[in-house]
């Protein structure tokens, strides 16, 4: 079985992430979306909330599974018999850091990283920008799923 992991913080998932997940689902038998837990970074959404949104917005794909992991991504790969990581590249500025991680992951566990060029519709998109724009009532239509927009608006309204 050709299995790939699509890792990230997903705080929250955007249409840019979904584009990569959807395209990967056509190339691999199974796509495992892994929400990586980073205890030093306080997220807006809990890991379970991020996973729940991911479950909802990927349910149309029959071969996407959502999981979470605390620790090294290569250990997640070992535990799940995964030999390929897929990452979206939005711009050259993403490349340097991604290349470093890809090389380190390969050195540690022989895991390959595949880069997929982001759809230009989403190349300027990030979860952080979405949070900031929704907080101040800006227009994010077409950039995040409707459900995520609703959850973001609710969360950012909370005192
Ligand atoms: O969505 P993000 O925050 O850009 O995702 C980055 C992420 C979570 C994929 C990356 O930080 C990662 O792989 N973290 C897991 C810890 C790890 O394996 N670190 C060593 C990388 S060489």
Interval 59-107: pLDDT, tens: 999 999 999 999 999 999 999 999 999 999 999 999 999 999 999 999 9
Q: How many CB atoms lie within 10 A of CB 14?
A: 21
Please report the atom of ligand 1 found closest to the CA of residue 105. 22
Ligand 1 centre from 145 Cα, in Å? Answer: 23
Rounded distance between C-alpha atoms, residue 54 and residue 64, angstroms: 10
Rounded to the nearest whole angstrom, what is the distance from the C-alpha of residue 38 to the centroid of ligand 1? 9
Residue whose pair of structure tokens reads 């409707």 in the numeric block? 146
Is 41 among the residues known to form the active site? yes
Ordered domains of the chain (ranges, CATH):
3-156 (3.40.50.620)
Let me know: does 130 contact 140? Beta carbons within 8 Å.
yes
Output the residue whose Cα is nearest ligand 1's atom 20: 72
Q: What is the pLDDT of residues 12-62, one digit of tens each?
A: 999 999 999 999 999 999 999 999 999 998 899 999 999 999 999 999 999
């Amino acid at each position: 079985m050709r299995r790939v992991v699509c890792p990230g913080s997903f705080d929250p998932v955007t249409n840019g992430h979904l584009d990569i997940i959807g395209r990967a689902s056509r190339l691999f038998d199974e796509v495992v979306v892994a929400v990586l837990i980073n205890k030093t970074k306080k997220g807006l959404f809990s890991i379970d909330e991020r996973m729940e949104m991911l479950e909802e917005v990927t349910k149309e794909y029959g071969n996407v599974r959502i999981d979470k992991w605390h620790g090294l991504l290569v250990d997640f790969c070992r535990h799940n018999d995964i030999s390929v990581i897929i990452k979206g590249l939005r711009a050259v500025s993403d490349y340097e850091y991604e290349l470093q991680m890809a090389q380190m992951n390969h050195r540690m566990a022989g895991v390959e990283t595949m880069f997929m060029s982001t759809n230009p519709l989403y190349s300027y998109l990030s979860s952080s920008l979405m949070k900031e724009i929704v907080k101040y009532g800006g227009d994010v239509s077409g950039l995040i799923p409707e459900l995520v927009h609703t959850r973001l608006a609710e969360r950012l309204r909370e005192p």
